[in-house]
Amino acid sequence: MQSTSPAFKDNARDALADQQLQKALQNVKSGFIGKRAKARDRLPEFDDLRDASRDIKNHTLANIDFYLERYEEKVTESGGQVHWAATAEEARAMILKICRDVDARVVTKGKSMISEEIALNAHLEEAGLDVVETDLGEYIIQLRKEAPSHIIAPAVHLTKDQVEADFRHHHKDLPDERPLSEPTQLVAEARQMLRQRYLEADVGITGANFLVAETGTSIIVTNEGNGDLTQTLPKVHIVIASLEKIVPNLEDATTILRVLARSATGQEFSSYTTFSTGPRRAEDPDGPEQYHVVLLDNGRSEMLGSEFQDMLRCIRCGACMNHCPVYHAVGGHAYGWVYPGPMGAVLTPSLIGVDEAGQLPNASTFCGRCEAVCPMRIPLPKMMRHWREREFERHLSPKAVRAGLGFWAFFARRPELYHRIAGWKMRALAAFGRSKGRFDALPFTGGWTKHRDFPAPQGKTFQQLWAEKQTGGGRR
Amino acid sequence: MAETRPRIGLFVTCLVDLMRPSVGFAAVKLLEQAGCEVAVPRAQTCCGQPAYNSGDRADTKAIAEQVIAAFDGFDYVVAPSGSCASMIKKHYPGLFTDDPPLRAKAEDLAERTFELVSFLTDVLNVEAVESSFSGAVTYHDSCSGLRELGVETQPRKLLNTLTGVEIREMEESNVCCGFGGTFCVKYPDISNKMVTNKAAFVAASGADTLLAGDLGCLMNMAGKLQRQGVAVQVRHVAEVLADMTHEPAIGQPAIGEAADEESIAS
Amino acid sequence: MSGSREQIMATLRRSLKREQPSAEERAQLEARLSAPQPGLIPARGQRPHGEQLDLMEEMLVELSASVVRLRDDAEVPRAVADYLKGENLPPKLRLAPRDDLRDLPWDSQPLLEVAEGIAEEPDTASLTGAFAGIAETGTLMMASGPEAPITLNFLPENHIVVLRASQVVGAYEEAWTRLRQRYGSGVMPRAVNMITGPSRTGDIEQTIQLGAHGPRRLHVILVEDGDAAGGSDRDERQA
């Protein structure tokens, strides 16, 4: 996927002016925040489970070489195959080859962010395959030829009216008189449309929330059941997963599962948590005949051991963006690539380069709400700051910012000079602003005064007044 | 009080120093009322946050070293800002990971540093204050103070001891106002969206005064409310707690000054 | 493509600053895998077995599933027929091919059409067993195999599950222990499905809708099977 991250500011401006989008974004706040808080309050052990989950992932990452090798052995033992892909390109080629080996025509897909990361659909479609997204949100945005705007709610940027219009446009046999104005009717329509596609599919592709070294198992967590139909009905099941999804054993996965759904949707547990191990056994009446895991690196092995290692703990619950005021304001598409919100602001520069995605870690007030809700206790603001440091070191930050900062720092590092100059500057500013108490425009403050007034200073600086008071010469 | 009065070094913060010294004097009054001796080291300018959050570690470290030296020897360092206090308390030590002696000094300073209102309640065990201020107030939780230092109940607790004050909580009081230091000028449109939301919640609360513990957020919110023509007074919480509201509220004209502005400029 | 495997492992090891785990580290890692220890288990499900059954029911109802409790297997066919009738569904059932379900007195419900096997379109209702019920969140655990086709859990719009009281445990971890006892350590069937309520989606304006792709209705028939202890040592302590 081509990124538009360098145009973040323009994207944001467009998003802020898009009334339909702004209406849909209200659903992010109302749909997620209260539910998560309720789920947290209901489970007294929630915060301790967050600590435990963080520790499990830290342990796993410190021994990821061992666990990945064991995982591969166990997959092979259970009759499946692991394919190691260093790059997105390699992963796409592997998946296409598996599809071609079984003469696949129709491929169904469960929701997978890794699939978005490697731009899988376009690649398979170019090769002539009929690719069908089955998660309702993914299905809708596939019809619209859009990217997901949220990692667990891909169509959160749309209103139901937009979905109705899309269904009426694309579903050729849909009678005009059939009502589709309510979500229930839209869900029923999608269910009916996709039912046939599951049965036609030759290959089903899913992502993975976890990979279990103990058993060679891949785990998906869904609510719709589409992932299960996708991976059960076709002859071939392909799992596409990045390598940091590994956990040691089922108990470890279980601990993290206890915080995943609660953090994501506020559910106690998602409707379907599915543990898949190998293909169907000889005596099984259903299930796929082949089971492949494409294990993707795409830059993660380089994040290990760096100041961005903590990001590899991420379980893609979406809590950070659900609570992010910047995400609430502009939505996911403004971020310009696959992963939006705070987790995207940290991960995207790692995956596509800070030259390309440098805007994202800057577009944060560091309000810290993301870190406060992250089930894996990832210090997201700290890592965004690390990206800013790298940009600063590499002179990627805007020249005006560097110049302003240098000017300010020169004085900030010289207190006596600073106090003298600040003293007369503030008095002058105060004198001009005193009658109104504020300014509606000032030189060099366009970013501020475009939208709000700038208060006038009181007059003398605190340091001046304090010095006067100490010497008894002040008038206050 | 204990016989020996705790010696406080006041970290004024650059915004209070430049924009609103009355907040600094309110802080001094509150600390002295609570039995402290307050000094204001002159070798302070800023905590270094603008450089820190812009990725400029070299300048941040230089400024941090300056602050560490300036506040050496005080029992406590107190700032009328959650953001600046948090910078010193939570972020300074991490700047010197490769310099153990300085790191030790930074950690020592971090341990002694507090945000003003939580220092009053949590360290000095102040249970109540007296103030003639009256009215319906709403309180905005500034991000750093709230999430890095746990300042949430403390200001409300003290405000509740004022007989003439009624707290009217606004919706989303704990959501960022969109200030974010340089964020508000780097991303003015997003910042505007955030502060517009905030202004709407402030107005809907029905309060006639908006309070918070950080001047940056206060200037942002005051600027928006005034641009919108919303008649809510905006003040630092310390001004109300210290009964020092004689100065006009943030962004309001000096009393009696509006009529004869010419004489003032001279 | 073994080239990539070697390359990835080499980068990982460089990042970890080690060639291989030491013998001592390896022994610890092996132990963690061969004798998995439960982590922090929430208190919620840790209660006497009778109360676990009540919790299971409570959680299921909260999830928009329905529950009926029976004292005897023999009552199951009538309960199924009543349920289908009550929901205004066709009297047809696709049955998981297992003896205990097959041997139920289906003759008592002559109007009910019962067929065995995997689910196929247009099956409207399935009846399956379960491997375990997890009271903590009202979760059903299904382990696939000849007697438990996976499609029965997902394809029909209505899924009816016969859950035996002895299968209900407090926490997921207890179900893993039972699974290892059945399949062996480190071995899993093709699919273990944890099912927590009917299929749902919030993808349209974040309003929850049931029956997105999987079953719209989940009905659990919880049967007392005279082994209420269920092999759980907790109950002996409580007794």
- B258 domain-assigned: no
Only one residue has tokens 């990045």, namely A242
Give how many domains chain A has, as a whole number.
Answer: 3
The chains in contact with chain B, meaning 3 or more Cβ pairs closer than 8 Å, are A
Note which residues in 19-48 of chain A have CB less than 8 A from chain C: 24, 27-28, 30-32, 43-45, 48
- If asked whether residues B117 and B150 sit together in one domain, one would say no
Is there a contact between A458 and B20 if contact means CB atoms under 8 Å apart? yes
Same structural domain for residues B86 and B133? no
Contact A455 B250 (CB under 8 A): yes
Summarize the confidence of residues B73-82 as an average pLDDT.
Answer: 98
Picking from C147, C204, C209, C218 by the largest number of A CB atoms within 10 A of its own CB, the best residue to mutate is: C204
Contacts of C32 in chain A (CB under 8 A): 248-249
- Indicate if A318 and A259 belong to the same structural domain: no
The reply to whether A191 and A340 lie within a common domain is no
pLDDT at A442: 82
Answer yes or no: do A457 and B143 touch at CB < 8 A. no
Do C12 and A255 lie within an 8 Å CB cutoff? no
Residue A121 lies in a domain: yes
Q: In terms of domains, do A211 and A275 share one?
A: yes
Are B111 and B51 part of one and the same domain?
Answer: yes
pLDDT at A399: 87
- C11 domain-assigned: no
Q: Which of residues 79-138 of A touch B (CB under 8 A)?
A: none
Residue C15 to residue A306, Cβ atoms within 8 A: yes
Judgement on whether residues B118 and B132 belong to the same structural domain of the protein: no
Decide if C61 touches A, using CB distance below 8 A.
Answer: no
Among candidate residues B105, B122, B139, the one where a domain is terminated: B122
Among the three residues B80, B95, B122, which one is the final residue of a domain in this structure? B122
Query: Among residues 364-383 of chain A, which lie with CB inside 8 Å of chain B?
Result: 364-369, 371-372
pLDDT over threshold 70, residue B260 = no
On whether both B111 and B138 belong to a single domain, the answer is no
Q: What is the 3-state secondary structure (H, E, C) of chain C?
A: CHHHHHHHHHHHHHHHCCCCCCHHHHHHHHHHHHCCCCCCCCHHHCCCHHHHHHHHHHHHHHCCCEEEEECCHHHHHHHHHHHHHHCCCCCEEEECCCHHHHCCCHHHCCCCEEEECCCCCCCCEEEECCCEEECCCCEEEEECECCECHHHHCCCCEEEEEEEHHHEECCHHHHHHHHHHHHCCCCCCCEEEEECCCCEECCCCCCCEECCCCCCEEEEEEECCCCCCCCCHHHHHHC
Question: What string of DSSP letters covers A82-102?
Answer: EEEESSHHHHHHHHHHHHHHT
Give contacts of A163 with chain C, Cβ < 8 Å.
Answer: 204
| Residue at A279 is within a domain | yes
Q: Do A435 and B20 touch (CB under 8 A)?
A: no
Q: Please tell me whether residues B150 and B208 are part of one structural domain.
A: yes
Share of chain B above pLDDT 90, in %: 94
CB-CB: which of B16, B189, B265 is closest to A462?
B16
Q: What is the pLDDT of residue B255?
A: 73
Q: Best interface-test mutation with B: which of A9, A28, A451, A471 has the largest number of B CBs within 10 A?
A: A451
Containing structural domain, residue A216? 20-302
**B146, B201: one domain:** yes
A70, A153, A188 member nearest C202 (Cβ): A153
Does residue B223 sit within a domain?
A: yes
Whichever domain contains A293, its CATH number is 3.40.50.10420
Report DSSP state, residue B252: P
Cβ pair C150:A70 closer than 8 A: no
CATH number at residue C176: 3.40.50.10420
pLDDT at A435: 87
Last residue of a domain, one of A338, A363, A398: A398
Does B97 share its domain with B81?
A: yes
Query: Which single residue is written with the structure tokens 């493509």?
Result: C1
Q: Is residue B222 in a domain?
A: yes
Q: Of A363, A378, A398, which residue constitutes the final position of a domain? A: A398
User: Does C10 map to a domain?
Assistant: no
Q: Do B231 and B216 share a domain, yes or no? A: yes
| Judgement on whether residues A30 and A84 belong to the same structural domain of the protein | yes
Q: Dump pLDDT digits (tens) for C125-163.
A: 999 999 999 999 999 999 999 999 999 999 999 999 999
Regarding whether A262 and A134 lie in a shared domain, the answer is yes
Task: Enumerate the residues of chain B whose CB falls inside 8 A of the CB of residue A435.
Answer: 253-254, 257-258, 261, 264
The strand ranges marked E within A223-372 are: 236-242, 246-247, 272-276, 290-296
Residue A48 maps to a domain: yes
- Judge: A254–C39 Cβ closer than 8 Å, yes or no: yes
Test B54 with A415 for CB contact under 8 angstroms.
no
User: CB of B258 within 8 A of CB of B46?
Assistant: no
Residue B260 lies in a domain: no
What is the pLDDT confidence band of residue B1, given thresholds at 50, 70 and 90? very low
| Domain end position, chosen among A351, A368, A398 | A398
Q: Is residue B108 part of a domain?
A: yes
Contacts of C4 in chain A (CB under 8 A): 84-86, 90, 297
Say yes or no: B198 contacts chain A, CB-CB below 8 A: no
How far is A376 from chain C, CA to nearest CA, in Å? 15
Q: Which domain range does residue C216 map to?
A: 45-238
**Nearest CB to A366 within list B53, B190, B227:** B53
Report yes or no on C99 lying in a domain.
yes
Asked if residue B167 and residue B66 are part of one domain, the reply reads: no
pLDDT at B3: 63
Same-domain status, B85 and B156: no
Closest C-alpha among B6, B5, B44 to residue B24: B44
Q: What is the nearest CA distance from A371 to chain B, expressed in angstroms?
A: 9
Q: Is A200 within the bounds of a domain?
A: yes
User: Is C119 among the domain residues?
Assistant: yes
> Which residues from A are below 8 Å from C172, CB to CB?
254, 257
The reply to whether residue C214 touches residue A271, judged by beta carbons under 8 angstroms, is yes
Which of A46, A454, A42, B82 has its CA nearest to residue C40? A46
The alpha-carbon gap from B261 to the nearest alpha carbon of chain A, in Å, equals 6
Residue A434 tokens read as 């005193």
What are the distances in angstroms from CA B154 to CA A123, A232, A346, B123? Answer: 57, 56, 33, 11
Cα nearest neighbour of C218 on chain A = A271
Domains of chain B: total: 2
Q: How confident is the model at residue B109 (pLDDT cuts 50, 70, 90)?
A: very high
Q: Note down the domain range covering B88.
A: 7-122
Q: Are residues B117 and B132 in the same domain?
A: no
Listed by number, the residues of chain A in 166-195 with a beta carbon closer than 8 Å to a beta carbon of chain C are: 183-184, 186-188, 190-191, 194-195
CB burial of A177-202 (b: ≥16 within 10 Å; e: otherwise) equals eeebeebebbbbbbbebbeebbeebb
Is residue C38 situated within a structural domain? no
Of B150, B30, B132, B148, nearest to B80 by C-alpha is B30
The CB-side HSE value for C134 (13 A sphere, CA atoms) comes to 28
User: Beta strand pairing status for C191-195 and C139-143?
Assistant: antiparallel
Q: Which residues of B touch A372 (CB under 8 A)?
A: 147
Last residue of a domain, one of B122, B144, B173: B122
CATH number at residue A344: 1.10.1060.10
Those residues whose C-beta lies under 8 Å from the C-beta of residue B108, and which sit 6 or more positions away, are none
Which residues in chain C land under pLDDT 50?
A: 228-239
Question: Is the Cα torsion angle B249, B251, B252, B253 positive or negative in sign?
Answer: positive
Subunit contact A301:C215, Cβ cutoff 8 A: no
The CA distance from A433 to the nearest CA of chain B, in Å, is 8
- B32-50 pLDDT, tens digit per residue, is 999 999 999 999 999 999 9
Within-domain flag for C133: yes
Chain A, residues 384-403, CB within 8 A of chain B, namely 385, 387-393, 397, 401
Chains C and B touch (3+ CB pairs under 8 A): no
Cβ pair A451:B188 closer than 8 A: yes
Among all residues of chain A, which has the CA nearest to that of C201?
Answer: A224
Place of tokens 């992502």: A207
CATH of the domain at B199: 3.40.50.11810
Contact (CB<8Å) B184/A450: no
Per-residue pLDDT of chain A (476 residues; tens, 9 = 90+): 789 999 999 999 999 999 999 999 999 998 899 999 999 999 999 999 999 999 999 999 999 999 999 999 999 999 999 999 999 999 999 999 999 999 999 999 999 999 999 999 999 999 999 999 999 999 999 999 999 999 999 999 999 999 999 999 999 999 999 999 999 999 999 999 999 999 999 999 999 999 999 999 999 999 999 999 999 999 999 999 999 999 999 999 999 999 999 999 999 999 999 999 999 999 999 999 999 999 999 999 999 999 999 999 999 999 999 999 999 999 999 999 999 999 999 999 999 999 999 999 999 999 999 999 999 999 999 999 999 999 999 988 888 888 889 999 999 999 999 999 999 889 999 988 888 999 998 877 778 999 999 999 999 999 999 999 998 754 44
Going by their DSSP bridges, the two strands A454-455 and A438-439 should be labelled as: antiparallel
